[in-house]
Amino acid sequence: MNGRIGVESQEGKGSEFWFSVSLPEAENKLGDKTSDDKSCQSLQGLEVLVAEDNFVNQMVVTRILMGNKLSAWLVRTSLI
C-alpha cells in the first residue's frame, strides 16, 4: 500500500502514533443503500481499538461497532 507508520514520543507528555496509506476510492459510498450487509459480515467478531478522548464520540463509535457485531476497546487520548 506504500504507506508509512510512525511514533513520536516525549517523556512525561505522551506519545503520538500515526500512519498513512494510499487507498483506491470506494465503490459504495457511505450511506449508499445499494451496498449489502456482506461487507460487514466478514468483519464480525473482530476487536477494534478506539482511541478517542471525547466520551460522547466513544459511545457513538462503540454502539456502531457493537451493532455490526464487533468488539471495542476504548482508550483515552489525552491527559485532561
Distance (Å, rounded) from C-alpha 55 to C-alpha 44?
A: 24
Using CA of residue 21, residue 24, residue 27, residue 31, what is the dihedral sign?
Answer: positive
Q: Quick: pLDDT tens for 17-73.
A: 888 998 888 776 655 554 455 666 777 888 888 888 888 999 999 999 988 888 889
Please report whether residue 27 resides in a domain: no
Please report whether residue 15 resides in a domain: no
CB atoms within 10 A of CB 11: 6
CB atoms within 10 A of CB 4: 9
For residue 48, what are the domain limits? 42-80
Please report whether residue 31 resides in a domain: no
Please report whether residue 46 resides in a domain: yes
Please report whether residue 12 resides in a domain: no
Please report whether residue 51 resides in a domain: yes
Please report whether residue 26 resides in a domain: no
The structural domain count of the chain equals 1
Distance (Å, rounded) from C-alpha 72 to C-alpha 57?
A: 13
Please report whether residue 14 resides in a domain: no
* pTM score, whole prediction: 0.49
